[in-house]
Amino acid sequence: MTEGIKSKIYEFLLRNRGREFTVEEIAKAINEPRISVVKAQLTRLVKEGKVIKEKDKYRVI
């Protein structure tokens, strides 16, 4: 189930390439009320080298 959330996050960031978003903004955009789940998946995407975190905002590479 969390893999689906990770995909939704990545697809959202890809569609909005060049823009940065907070965890809360991403969670709202993908309709996921559990901020902690979104944060965990973003951490995985960062470790995978697909997403960059700067000043508590995330963007796709």
Contacts 24+ apart (CB under 8 A), 50-56: 50/10, 51/10, 51/13, 54/20, 56/22, 56/23
Alpha-carbon distance 13 to 46, whole Å? 12
> Domains of the chain, with CATH numbers?
2-60 (1.10.10.10)
Given this model, what pLDDT does residue 54 score? 96
Is pLDDT of 1 > 70?
no
Is pLDDT of 5 > 90?
yes
State pLDDT tens for residues 10-61: 999 999 999 999 999 999 999 999 999 999 999 999 999 999 999 999 999 9
